[in-house]
Amino acid sequence: MSPETVERLVHESLEQGITTFDHADIYGDHSNEEVFGRVLKHEPALRVNMELVTKCGIKFSSDKRPPVRVKHYDTTKAHIIWSAENSLKQLNTDYLDVLLIHRPDPLTDPEEVAEAFEILRESGKVLYFGVSNFTPSQFRMLQHYLSFPLVTNQIEISLSRIDPILNGDLDVLMEYEVSPMSWSPLGGGHLTIGEREMFGMASKYNASYSQLALAWLLKHPSQIFPVIGTTKPERIAECAKAVDVQLDRQDWFEMLRWVTGKEVA
């Protein structure tokens, strides 16, 4: 996408009250941060009105990075610090609001991660830290080694992926008073719900199917933050209005029944 297109999407998001922008060092074959950074270079005043989130820890073969033999994870102290500093350069900013470990690394040394986080925090380069795709036990383990709280776990949650609501993932985050971020909150645009069921509920709330799906997530007491992935300004405006759809409790459970195929016991 051109910087002009990204700039238009940024302005539309801010106008709709969406101020957090989610990135990762690997998105777009390592180009995502650079493209967004051109917008901030062109309009640096936008930075004070937004929060920047990015992720690190995944390495794969790319012309834009040193060669690797196999795709792997790297959560060493040196790589986390290098990744954060590189993201700062790419995004044209002096600080990151939130840095996430992108995937749980089987070789993670939590003390190394904690040291890296402390260095970045004390230098003012990163304000807050979190994780992505971590299980509850992995979240607890890393939190144990930190002197400050993790602020989120970005996981897949949607009407097409309800496991985190039922298996304890969200329970642990509420235990730590941490709000999850939901990636693919619309199921990648492929919600497996019948047209007739969705039409009836949409008519009742005067809402689109996407707004209903987002409202279903927003109803959860863990205070889920959906990460929408659209590149169309009109879709940003549509999704933003999901906060105005206040599902009642029975409708929430009816939507749960749609995706599970059965009522609660």
What length is written for the chain?
A: 265
DSSP 8-class letter at 180: P
Alpha-carbon dihedral angle through residues 243, 246, 251, 256, given to the nearest 10 degrees:
30
Helices 209-218/249-260 angle, 10° precision: 110
DSSP secondary structure letters along 116-159: HHHHHHHTTSEEEEEEES--HHHHHHHHHT-SS----EEEE-BT
> Of the residues 27, 145, 176, 205, which is catalytic?
27
Tell me the backbone φ, ψ of residue 193, rounded to 5 degrees: -120, 140
Closest CA to 240 of 11, 7, 17, 21: 17
Active site residue 27: yes
Rg of the chain taking only CA atoms, in angstroms = 19
DSSP secondary structure letters along 55-70: EE-EE---TTS---SS
Q: Coil, helix or strand for 167?
A: coil
Active site residues: 27
